[in-house]
Chain A
């Protein structure tokens, strides 16, 4: 008997040796976790993803949608480098539309309604079929840290798993607390357990942790909505895709519906504002300003007579409908009342009440550009657990962390995206540099060079990077290069085609509603006119017939029409990158530099920027501080050279 036990034990340890060692372990199976795990495994590393509940992989706890302003650029950039989100979204969308289609290309965006359950199923399938990736149900309780390096994870049920890197993508689960009205419970999402031990462990390791809050609106029963009194919101009537690579051609166009709150709604909310957790003191942490609860909207904008409510399907197979714009964590009965004041929802019945969730997040200023923590090597963070909001934001960070963890193991150059090459670069730089006062969300307005960083050229900007890290195929990257060079070729063709002010030419121009010619002009200059389009010009004057790819034509058109602006931004970006070149040494001591303001010294010491460029973006660090810093660094360099 004893013998058997011994042999069992040795066997067990042998099993754990074989089964318990990985290159990279990811904690959390949400949008960040999925991208991390896929990137790592696809880069050839033995990867383990641990999640509390394998039935909730890639769950969307809030909006049934992906994309939108600022976010769609993230999805496209992720796709250009070989991420997964765009592909899964394309396969599971219910409708897709172009936002800002009447505005310039820099601010246009795609937004798709997604079938939540299908998205989960699809994503889990992708994870399961990825070579080298294992998924496992478990609750992480401890990060094993040896000599300031993360070397594994212990889960609550006992086993330890060893690894060379750990990525934490725990979402809202760290000490999650759900609030409805005056009630609160411990939960990561409604009905699901929070993770209580991991955040204590992170504190012990030395991480600074704070709390944020976010909220979700009620879901209502489709059968109880009077759709005849809503405005139908359809998607585009053509096939559109997020992904540059595999176009998936089943097109769906299931409508959303628009209605509005009214005076009565606002009265009910005002009458009951004392029950609102933001007033009653049940919640005192900061939530996302960009998606305020209806309670907050009524308090802050009393002059507004109405707020829009979008009724969005949660999936094709369910009657649950999402009420975008009606986020609230009032008591359930009051939520029901609020819903019923809205036109078309007078008889609508709440299936799931809305709620707020408050959770621990790790201050992202403790990370560097690769999303690796500064204090513990090999420990990475991504997603809501470092204070962001949104599936797309989470996914791109998951990708950055996963790719960098893998590159580090391979001892290769890290993937550092910058403010002048991507939205993702802006997001990461903002996160690690600026103080977070609310959950971080991507906006177009955060991006200085948005005329260069457009959705349409994400593949041209980043597929080379994707190829370098090994997540974009050689042939795909070549296709993109061809698209780029074709666009340039068209442009030079356009310059060559000179039109004379003949009667025939002017007739054609008139037909296009544009001014006639008085002197010879080339097509290039004609295309610069706002009212002309490349497709029409080429058709009318029958040229460049070898180029018919719409994407290529669009690239050429944008480059010609916005050339001035684009060039200006490129010049600005160059100026910025010169500051970016001044590297600040690792353990640089700011305190002796008396000509820096005290605030600047304090902030710089806390955030420890990598470059003067990053330093210049820290709140509290003024342009004069930057000049001082540049001088000191230059002096050090000179002194260093002399001494050396």
Chain B
């Protein structure tokens, strides 16, 4: 047997934003890295809207560039719209960019696939076993991968449940399976978790049957300015409820738009009704309902200040599974975990979370 396929320095579990960042950062640090993802077609998928605050987190992105991360570049290459706060309307989104989701996924996938020192494998990690010289990751197809360090970037997939209305699905994203065996096995070896939940907004398409000037106005508006508050009543309603809602195009090659600001887990009928209330919904239809996703993330008491799990030397948690709530945080935590996994393997000092936190702190205000 060719052992090099089963023996790595670092194994990253999960191919979301933090997983991609962790894996590429570790690989650039000169260690052999493997990224395992349940579905190689779903790496770097943005589940909750497609905005990234490039400006607000410019320190973070500068750091990523300094450590030669290609992600900031890919974000820029796939920017559909830069939101300028010319009008008050966009204050909430000031400094953000809208990403072409599909193209971003394709570029990120290409980036990780062709990255030196980094290999990818489709598989569902189900267990982490302690070995004399490190760990072993077991996948559901019964393969075992040796790893001196493991970075868990399971995103929202650990023991995940999706709900909207009465409907409950065990899924990490709609239509995709979740990871429950890994969760139970990690609990068995003594890790503790708490449940968190996040809300995703519905997606809509402004129907192409509407050919009047209104649709073209809306579309023009979206293309140039991101937002499509064209009907007055809608803007007023939105103001009444105290929230501003934005229609964010998902990409150049799709008509789907994310209804940012309308994150909810109402039943499908109620979501439709509400959309009708806030805008003239005759012209559009809902393609995917919003939902709440409840998932397990590592208990803060176990989270070391270098992202290492207390009591498990060499195992790092990064991204949503470690409690981060934003894409930018996930990227930052991923990069830090990648650096620290490398430092751990090279027996160097690991960096502290607080150093990254400062960068994120800038963004928060």
Contact = CB atoms under 8 A, between A and B. Distances in A.
Interface in A327-341: 331-333, 336-337, 340
B261 interface: no
A465 interface: no
B235 interface: no
Contacts of A19: 272, 285
A149 interface: no
Interface residues of A, number: 60
Given A15-B269, A53-B174, A158 B166 contact: yes
A128 B206 CA distance: 10
Contact of B113 (A56, A221, A332, A336): A221
Interface string B256-291: 100000000001111011001100010001111100
Contacts of A353: 122-123, 141, 143
Contact of B164 (A53, A122, A157, A331): A157
A158 B208 contact: no
Contacts of A192: 39, 175-177
Nearest to A10: B273
Contact of A332 (B143, B276, B287): B143
A318 B42 contact: no
Interface string B175-190: 1110000000000000
A134 B272 CA distance: 14
Interface in B161-200: 164-167, 169, 171, 174-177
A187 B286 contact: no
A317 interface: yes
B122 to A, nearest CB: 4
Interface string B231-273: 0000000000000000000000111100000000001111011
A121 B253 contact: yes
B121 A319 contact: no
Interface in A232-291: none
Interface in A349-370: 349-353
B124 interface: yes
Contact of A320 (B113, B169, B276): B113
Contacts of B41: 55-56, 59, 191
A185 B41 CA distance: 19
A136 interface: yes
Contact of A191 (B2, B110, B176, B285): B176
Interface residues of B, number: 61
Interface string A121-140: 11011001111101111000
Contacts of B209: 131-132
Nearest to A346: B2
Contacts of B40: 219, 320, 351-352
B253 A52 contact: no
B81 to A, nearest CB: 19
B143 to A, nearest CB: 5
Given A317-B106, A331-B142, A158 B167 contact: yes
B328 to A, nearest CB: 23
B38 interface: yes
B94 interface: no
A178 to B, nearest CB: 9
A129 B208 contact: yes
Nearest to B39: A191
A162 to B, nearest CB: 14
Interface string A218-240: 01010100000000000000000
Interface in A28-60: 52-56, 59
B63 interface: no
Contacts of B143: 332-333, 353
A71 interface: no
A219 B40 CA distance: 11
A8 B270 contact: yes
A333 B256 CA distance: 41
Contact of A183 (B39, B122, B141, B254): B141
A499 B177 CA distance: 74
A319 B208 contact: no
B119 A221 contact: yes
Nearest to B178: A193
A337 B270 CA distance: 54
A117 interface: yes
Contacts of B270: 8, 12
A563 B42 CA distance: 54
Contacts of B268: 157-159
A589 interface: no
Nearest to A137: B288
A134 B287 CA distance: 8
Contacts of B140: 183, 185
Contacts of B205: 128, 134-135
Contacts of B177: 185, 187, 191-193
Enumerate the 7 nearest inter-chain pairs by beta-carbon distance, A residue then B residue, closest first. Answer: A53-B175, A191-B39, A157-B167, A352-B122, A128-B255, A319-B113, A137-B288
18 contacts: A11-B276, A12-B273, A15-B281, A55-B45, A156-B167, A157-B267, A158-B267, A180-B142, A183-B142, A191-B38, A193-B176, A318-B106, A331-B141, A332-B139, A351-B120, A351-B121, A352-B121, A353-B122
Interface of B: 1-2, 5-6, 38-42, 45, 102, 106-107, 109-110, 113-114, 119-124, 139-143, 164-167, 169, 171, 174-177, 203, 205, 207-209, 253-256, 267-270, 272-273, 276-277, 281, 285-289
Given A320-B113, A331-B141, 18 more contacts: A52-B174, A55-B45, A122-B253, A125-B253, A134-B285, A136-B287, A137-B289, A157-B268, A183-B142, A192-B177, A221-B113, A317-B109, A318-B106, A319-B113, A336-B5, A352-B40, A352-B122, A353-B141
